[in-house]
Amino acid sequence: MAPLLDSIRSAQDLRRMSPAELESLAAEIREYLIQTLSRTGGHLGPNLGVVELSLALHIVFNTPEDKITMDVSHQAYIHKLLTGRRENFATIRQAGGLNGFMLRTESEHDAYGAGHAGTAISAALGMAVARDLKGEHNHVIAVAGDAAFTNGISYEALNNIAEQTKRLIVVLNDNEWSIDRNVGAIAGYFHRIVTNERYKHLHDSAARLIERFGGKAVMHVARKAEEAAKGILWPSMFFEEFGLKYYGPIDGHNLPLLIETFKFLKTENKPVLLHILTQKGKGFQPALDGQKKFHGLGPYDPETGETKPAGQVTYSEVFANTLVDLANEDDKIVAITAAMPNGTGLDLFRPHHPKRYFDVGIAEEHAVIFAAGMATQGFKPVCAIYSTFLQRAFDCIVHDVCLQKLPVVFCMDRAGLSGDDGPTHHGLFDIGYLRDIPDIVLMAPKDEDELADMMLTAFQIPGPSAIRYPRGVVTGVARKPRPALLPIGKAEVLQPGPAQGADIAIFGLGPMIPMAQELAALLHQDGFSAAVINPRFIKPLDLEVIAAYARRSAAIVTFEDHARSGGFGSAMLEALSQLGLNTPVVYIGWPDQFIEHGKVDQLRAKYGLTARAALTQLLPYLVEVRRQNRVAI
């Protein structure tokens, strides 16, 4: 007999299944996810937790007519399996394959593309209001995890729902986790609801009634009982103050209960919020034991959950360990993360300085302004936030930090391409959105040793500074016993070239230095001279070094793991114009488009971020060098 999952071509197939078959299908989906993602990697834990929820949504609602948004949408794997993408699912997060998040261009069933938290409710409200204006009657459902309710955008949306539409379903998927365990008052509030014995007894009774009898009448009785209980327990329920009818909490793994509840909620003529309780990683013990690890990971053993041993140090770890050492010597240093202690490495800092570690939840704007407030009081805050997520706090960086010249250090992990996570997570725009801000110092280390130097240097700068460094393992260079201060705005000449001047001057930004050195070697093979410069500073630029090489070279090459528009190459062109020089610049970076997911080396080859691609672009200038007899033929 063929597996049940193979028989699913659309939601109609789900609706023909018996309750027992649906339970078997849920177990089959979990096993399929465990086996498939063991080869590709991906967001295993979040998807194991929403199997029943995804099935219930597709049984009760009809996509693409009905619209489902998911906050972040890394938990949309089951949704993809149920909407015609089963045959391609093994390609998820692979080059040319399915995206790891909802993607509007991938399927008409993906109503809204996402990859950052806090967007699901606002987008769903926009869809609901558009539906109302068009006089249509489809349903709109927003699925948001409890972690999304630490994000301010969610509350901006909640504040507008009741005034702007009469029909919207918000599902609060409560599993107590984002990537790390959720923090703050909202997490505590949800926990108090869930653990209150009187409320739990009431909902267990209501659930039994619905399972036994079903239908609107029983739900109405349960609703009246809930209102009475809430009047005793909470004089003013949080969500009801926003104008949403609150239902729950109910068991998010009880498929019959979820189906009956959604059928009832379809009949409501008022915005509603359904609070469900799920278990992240359900059905796979290693994922239950290692919630952070199995939120998103690479290939693993499907039996034991063990990942392939890395055996290599990452930039995140070097950042965190250096910060520990610096904080040991300076009690004014504090570390701030926005729900990413594991991803940024700050979980290594926390045990050493727990009182100087702050996780503010998924609230990047608050993190930056919070840091600004601490800086006004003489502290030295470090905001460790991925490049892609720091985009959300741009105004706060400008208005609250830089305008006031406050000494906040932004450490931007995942700067550059983020590989399998795709365009929502690539850090390709931070130079563009930071270098135009007055008074900020912007740095990019070529290796882990220089990262430590830049961190020490940042704490000596009287105003704001930022350091961008890549995802992944370090270069493996020998580390100095202690970091060294760097002169602000001074580049490092790694290969000076001949005394009379190099034919080509190559500036490799940060981790692109090896590519710059590879190009220099290719030029040498062809009889040309080349200089290799490590800029270190994107702002301020070393105008002295730039001028010296621009005057003595036929062309300048810049390599950067960033969008070409507004990036380091653009800054080089501006500097040459400022200096009154017209030396040609070949600037190698990512094109003016959103880059898909895939392995970094594959994408670099596809888009021309290679030494040989740069050599091809240099050919006209090399011909001119030879024409002037600067190189013997």
Which residues are tagged catalytic? 280, 364, 392
CA torsion, ordered 116, 511, 310, 302, to nearest 10 deg = 40
Question: Minimal CA–CA distance to 539: which of 568, 581, 569?
Answer: 568
Distance CA 210, CA 187 (A): 28
Distance CA 517, CA 559 (A): 11
Question: Minimal CA–CA distance to 115: which of 383, 369, 392?
Answer: 392
Distance CA 616, CA 621 (A): 10
**Residue 579: count of CB within 10 angstroms of its CB:** 15
Distance CA 70, CA 93 (A): 18
Distance CA 192, CA 176 (A): 12
Beta strands in 104-238 (DSSP E): 140-145, 169-174
The encoded tokens of residue 591 equal 């094109």
Q: CA distances (Å), 441 to each of 65, 344, 402, 405, 533, in order?
A: 49, 21, 10, 11, 19
Question: Minimal CA–CA distance to 34: which of 309, 294, 253, 254?
Answer: 294
Q: 19-40 and 255-265 helices cross at what angle (nearest 10)?
A: 100
**Residue 65: count of CB within 10 angstroms of its CB:** 11
DSSP state of 485: -
Give the DSSP per-residue string, 141-178.
Answer: EEEEEGGGGGSHHHHHHHHHHHHH-S--EEEEEE-SBS
The encoded tokens of residue 243 equal 């104008």
SS3 357: strand
